[in-house]
């Protein structure tokens, strides 16, 4: 075909309402998770969508129009939609356009993002619904931080915040028959139950169900609860299915440095340090020294804490690393709460995955972490009688 003929054909297709380069797409699934502060809806789409999102009043609705798209499965039933959406429906307001309507059940605000393909996921259009009065996460980042050497003044039990990794649309590592997010939540719940039964200890969970919480939000939650210790529970994964054993991590020096810089950048909005010392009215050098002292002390305590937990884990199974490793994991970056991340085993190892799925091994893991916490408190602070 001559070049001129190709141009004429392209112009003709455009005039007829077609696009030469446009691809049709299929919404293959609509997944959802409901957290205490948010409902998340995820559209799994097999090609990059051309879409518009807008709201309508009387009644309140959020409308998603996807051009050249079709729906691959029925709408979710009303009882699965959570507190913010009363009903979902779909239709075709014009040819080749898929319209999905969320009928809003209460005053909300929403956030929208389109995620590119990653790993086993295709394109994902993500909509988060929040209560209209929900305080945005970033506004809560600047909380009080402790000065090294000062004793916490909080009365009552020692509080351990337990963080079950991943959740919701983030499954974590994937084994042959199970997801990391499911196993670690089960271990976390057993650990909470054990700690709550110990005199002088109590525990809280960052998540109690299958929903996602951002890494920064997990730190904020622990700080808002005035946690004394923080334990993030995970299950490792590797392309080598023979990789095995538990590991324990504390924050790396590089991770500590980057977090100090983050706090300094926002020091004008930071609240008082524990003991009434504030960095908001200090010059940058003094503020940096205070923050660096706090972070250095916390990392040292975290390594000691991790060592005791690792020693207990050695009693119940294989260990991947015989020392407390250090990395820049975001959930370990609280400047005044000793924090560790426990990789319980490799879910990608068939034998370890089978163990992780059993009630008995999950109980052993929870017991080992509990005993490690008690050992750390006795050895480093002399405030818990460990038998």
> Which tokens belong to 70?
């079709």
CA distance 55 to 62: 4
Give the CA diameter of the chain: 89
Tokens 């199970």 -> residue: 178
pLDDT band at 151 (very low <50, low <70, confident <90, very high): very low
Contact (Cβ atoms closer than 8 angstroms) between residue 324 and residue 248: yes
Identify the top-confidence range among 13-22, 34-43, 348-357. 348-357
- Does domain 138-381 fall into CATH 3.40.50.12780? no
What are 93-130's pLDDT values in tens digits?
988 899 999 999 999 999 999 988 877 788 999 999 99
Contact (Cβ atoms closer than 8 angstroms) between residue 102 and residue 85: yes
Does 145 score more than 70 pLDDT? no
Phi, psi of 301 (to 5 degrees): -65, -40
Q: In terms of Cα–Cα distance, which of 298, 305, 303, 301 is closest to 333? A: 298
CA distance 151 to 169: 40
Per-residue model confidence (pLDDT) at position 105? 93
Tokens 């650990």 -> residue: 191
Q: Is the peptide bond before 59 cis (omega within 30 degrees of 0)?
A: yes
pTM value is 0.74
Q: How many C-beta atoms lie closer than 10 Å to residue 137's C-beta?
A: 13
Per-residue model confidence (pLDDT) at position 2? 53
3-state secondary structure of 306: helix
Contact (Cβ atoms closer than 8 angstroms) between residue 339 and residue 250: yes
> Which tokens belong to 189?
């719940």
3-state secondary structure of 247: strand
User: What does DSSP assign to residue 82?
Assistant: -
pLDDT, greater one: 296 or 248 = 248
Q: Return the C-alpha torsion angle 40, 43, 44, 47, nearest 10.
A: -140
What are 283-317's pLDDT values in tens digits?
667 766 777 777 888 899 999 999 999 999 999 99
- Determine which helix (DSSP H) or strand (DSSP E) holds 326, and give its type and residue range: strand 325-327
pLDDT band at 276 (very low <50, low <70, confident <90, very high): very low
What are 345-383's pLDDT values in tens digits?
999 999 999 999 999 999 999 999 999 999 999 988 777
User: What does DSSP assign to residue 121?
Assistant: B
Does 149 score more than 70 pLDDT? no
Residues 13-29, mean pLDDT to the nearest whole number: 63
Per-residue model confidence (pLDDT) at position 304? 96
CA distance 259 to 264: 9
pLDDT band at 73 (very low <50, low <70, confident <90, very high): confident
CATH top-level class of 21-134? mainly beta
What are 160-219's pLDDT values in tens digits?
999 999 998 889 999 999 999 999 999 999 999 999 999 889 999 999 999 888 888 899
Per-residue model confidence (pLDDT) at position 156? 59
CA distance 337 to 161: 10
Residues 227-232, mean pLDDT to the nearest whole number: 95
Do the first three CATH levels of 21-134 and 138-381 match, i.e. the same topology?
Answer: no
Does 131 score more than 80 pLDDT? yes
Strand partners, 174: 179
Does 154 score more than 60 pLDDT? no
User: What are the residue boundaries of the structural domains of the chain, listed by start?
Assistant: 21-134, 138-381
Phi, psi of 319 (to 5 degrees): -115, 135
Contact (Cβ atoms closer than 8 angstroms) between residue 264 and residue 256: no
Please state, in angstroms and as integers, the Cα–Cα distance from residue 362 to each residue in 182, 343, 349, 355, 371, following that order.
Answer: 12, 13, 16, 8, 14
User: What does DSSP assign to residue 255?
Assistant: H
3-state secondary structure of 305: helix
Per-residue model confidence (pLDDT) at position 176? 94
pLDDT band at 133 (very low <50, low <70, confident <90, very high): confident
CA distance 297 to 249: 16
Handedness of CA 183, 214, 335, 147 (dihedral sign): negative
Q: What is the mean pLDDT of the chain?
A: 84
Per-residue model confidence (pLDDT) at position 132? 84
CA angle 84, 85, 89 (to 5 degrees): 165
User: What does DSSP assign to residue 2?
Assistant: -
């Amino acid at each position: 075909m001559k070049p001129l003929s190709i141009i004429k054909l392209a112009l003709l297709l455009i005039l007829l309402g077609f696009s030469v380069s446009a691809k049709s797409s299929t919404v293959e699934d609509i997944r959802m998770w409901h957290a205490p502060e948010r409902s998340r809806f995820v559209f799994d789409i097999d090609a990059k969508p051309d879409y518009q999102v807008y709201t309508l009043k009387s009644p309140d609705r959020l409308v998603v129009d996807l051009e050249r798209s079709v729906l691959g499965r029925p709408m979710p039933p009303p009882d699965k939609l959570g507190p913010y959406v009363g009903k979902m429906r779909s239709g075709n307001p014009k040819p080749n356009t898929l319209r999905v309507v969320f009928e809003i059940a209460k005053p909300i605000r929403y956030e929208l993002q389109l995620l590119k393909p990653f790993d086993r996921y295709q394109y994902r259009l993500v909509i988060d619904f929040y209560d209209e009065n929900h305080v945005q996460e970033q506004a809560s980042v600047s909380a009080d931080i402790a000065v090294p050497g000062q004793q916490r003044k909080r009365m009552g039990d020692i509080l351990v915040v337990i963080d079950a990794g991943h959740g919701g649309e983030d499954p974590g590592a994937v084994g042959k028959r199970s997801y990391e997010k499911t196993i670690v939540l089960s271990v976390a719940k057993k650990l909470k139950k054990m700690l709550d039964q110990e005199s002088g200890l109590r525990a809280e969970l960052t998540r109690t169900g299958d929903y996602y919480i951002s890494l920064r939000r997990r730190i904020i939650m622990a700080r808002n609860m005035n946690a004394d210790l923080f334990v993030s529970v995970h299950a490792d994964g590797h392309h080598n299915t023979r990789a095995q054993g538990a590991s324990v991590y504390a924050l790396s020096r590089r991770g500590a440095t980057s977090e100090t810089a983050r706090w300094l950048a926002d020091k004008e909005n930071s609240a008082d340090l524990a003991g009434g010392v504030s960095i908001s009215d200090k010059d940058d050098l003094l503020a940096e020294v205070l923050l660096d002292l706090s972070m250095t002390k916390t990392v040292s305590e975290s390594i000691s804490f991790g060592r005791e937990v690792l020693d207990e884990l050695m009693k119940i199974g294989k260990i991947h690393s015989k020392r407390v490793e250090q990395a820049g994991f975001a959930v370990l970056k609280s400047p005044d709460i000793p924090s560790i991340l426990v990789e319980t085993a490799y879910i990608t190892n068939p034998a370890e995955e089978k163990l992780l799925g059993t009630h008995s091994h999950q109980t052993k893991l929870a017991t080992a972490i509990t005993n490690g916490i008690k050992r750390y408190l006795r050895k480093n602070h002399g405030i818990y009688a460990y038998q």
